[in-house]
Amino acid sequence: MSKYSPLSDFLAQRAEDDWRASFAEVEMVLGASLPKAAKQPAWWIGSDKPHQKAWLDHGWRVSAVGEGMVSLKRTVAHEVQPPALKAAAENASTQAHVRQTAGIAAIVGGAIAVVAGLGVLSAKLWKARART
């Protein structure tokens, strides 16, 4: 578990598409102090550092930093979906996958039967031809 997991979880569950917070509020979410480097905009901006993944992994970008405040905006459209609707959609997707897999199995099984039948027919024709 990363030190920044609480921030990541907070942003993932946030319904609004923007969040302006003081560094103290960010520390409350984290349950820990920010490093001294967080006072510099460079700590917040970029995508190559592990702490930046806390917001980047959930589609958030830092839009402003300064005077002990940070503003983040969600860059990906956020859909709020009730848990029951989400579960129903996942269930329907699973059922569609099962039906598709069963259909493919039936086609493959039918193709094997046709090939086997052609093999038997070919053997009978070959045998009949050999007698004449």
Q: What is the pLDDT of residues 55-107, one digit of tens each?
A: 998 899 999 999 999 999 998 765 555 666 667 667 767 777 777 888 888 88
Tell which residue, 61, 83, 50, has the closest CA to residue 17: 61
19-55 burial code (b ≥16 CB/10 A, e <16) = bebebeebeebbeeebeeebeeeebbeeeeeebbebb
pLDDT in tens, 7-65: 999 999 999 999 999 999 999 999 999 999 999 999 998 888 889 999 998 899 999 99
Q: For position 106, what pLDDT does the model report?
A: 84
Amino acid present at 83: P
Task: State the pTM of this model.
Answer: 0.56
